[in-house]
């Protein structure tokens, strides 16, 4: 008789099952990948997804991309912890979150072009429902800073008619749910210092160097 603790608590979600029936290493990974693709397509076709997600590699590390039927809703750096971001998307936008690369292929393609230096502006439908109020106002203004240009938090606050709000502008940039695509990396401190960046200062410097090249 085994004496291990029994973890059958309701809500624990899964019970261990005696898998003596399953031979070692049944290679079903390929089948499961195919089944997942089929599920993605049907879910998208039947409009069942709250959020489609995928991960793309980039010079600033793996980026998580997420879209609702309205558009790209989130770009997340690895340091934001992709698992945590997925949970946050489920909490805020709905739990029907599924990996569905095809849905995000236009966004992935434009990001690839941007990192290759072949694209200076993004042309994607954006879903800005993760931002509200003044932050959203600031974020909507960011694409107006041209490729290869920079501005300062104070400058941006003045442009928005809130000259005293440079700290709030900083917060708006720090909480931008769509980094890279919505270019908060182009906003610096007025003394030329880098300020902060959701992807880390190294990533901010890398993007600015890419655009300056």
State the catalytic residues. Answer: 184
Element containing residue 29 per DSSP (H, E): helix 29-45
Note whether 76 binds another protein by CB under 8 A. Answer: no
Cβ-based neighbour number of residue 140 at 10 Å: 14
Please say whether the beta carbons of 178 and 139 come within 8 A.
Answer: yes
Note whether 193 binds another protein by CB under 8 A. Answer: no
Q: State how far Cα 164 lies from the chain centre.
A: 30
Q: Which residues pair with 55 in a beta bridge?
A: 64
Using CB under 8 A, count the residues that bind another protein. 50
Note whether 95 binds another protein by CB under 8 A. Answer: yes
Note whether 36 binds another protein by CB under 8 A. Answer: yes
Note whether 22 binds another protein by CB under 8 A. Answer: yes
User: In this chain, which stretch among 41-49, 112-120, 150-158, 191-199 interacts with another protein, using CB under 8 A?
Assistant: 41-49
Angle at 25 between CA 24 and CA 29, to 5 degrees: 150
Q: Cα dihedral sign for 89, 93, 98, 99?
A: negative
- Considering only 75, 76, 86, 145, the residue that binds another protein (CB under 8 A) is 86
The minimum distance between CB 103 and another protein, in angstroms, equals 13
Structure tokens at 54: 């995928």
Please say whether the beta carbons of 168 and 133 come within 8 A.
Answer: no
User: In this chain, which stretch among 22-30, 101-109, 135-143, 195-203 interacts with another protein, using CB under 8 A?
Assistant: 22-30
Using CB under 8 A as the binding rule, the residues of this chain from 48 to 67 that contact another protein are 48-49, 51, 53
Distance separating alpha carbons of residues 194 and 183, to the nearest angstrom: 14
- Considering only 81, 87, 190, 209, the residue that binds another protein (CB under 8 A) is 87
Closest CA to 106 of 48, 45, 181, 46: 181
User: In this chain, which stretch among 84-92, 143-151, 158-166, 205-213 interacts with another protein, using CB under 8 A?
Assistant: 84-92
Residue ranges in contact with another protein by CB under 8 A: 2, 4, 6-8, 10-28, 30-32, 34-36, 38-39, 42-43, 46, 48-49, 51, 53, 86-87, 89-91, 94-99
């Amino acid at each position: 008789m085994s004496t291990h603790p029994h973890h059958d608590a309701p809500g624990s979600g899964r019970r261990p099952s005696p898998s003596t029936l399953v031979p070692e290493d049944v290679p079903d990974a390929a089948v499961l990948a195919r089944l997942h693709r089929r599920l993605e397509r049907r879910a998208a076709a039947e409009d069942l997804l709250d959020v489609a997600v995928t991960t793309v590699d980039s010079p600033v590390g793996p980026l998580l991309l997420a879209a609702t039927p309205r558009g790209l809703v989130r770009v997340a750096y690895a340091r934001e912890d992709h698992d945590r971001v997925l949970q946050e998307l489920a909490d805020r936008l709905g739990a029907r979150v599924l990996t569905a690369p095809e849905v995000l292929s236009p966004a992935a393609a434009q990001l690839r072009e941007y990192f290759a230096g072949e694209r200076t502006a993004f042309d994607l439908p954006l879903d800005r429902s993760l931002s509200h109020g003044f932050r959203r106002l600031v974020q909507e203004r960011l694409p107006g800073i041209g490729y290869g240009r920079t501005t300062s938090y104070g400058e941006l606050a003045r442009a928005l008619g809130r000259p005293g709000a440079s700290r709030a502008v900083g917060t708006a940039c720090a909480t931008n749910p769509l980094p890279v695509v919505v270019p908060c990396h182009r906003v610096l401190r007025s003394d030329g210092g880098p300020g902060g960046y959701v992807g880390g200062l190294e990533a901010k410097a890398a993007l600015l160097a890419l655009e300056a090249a």
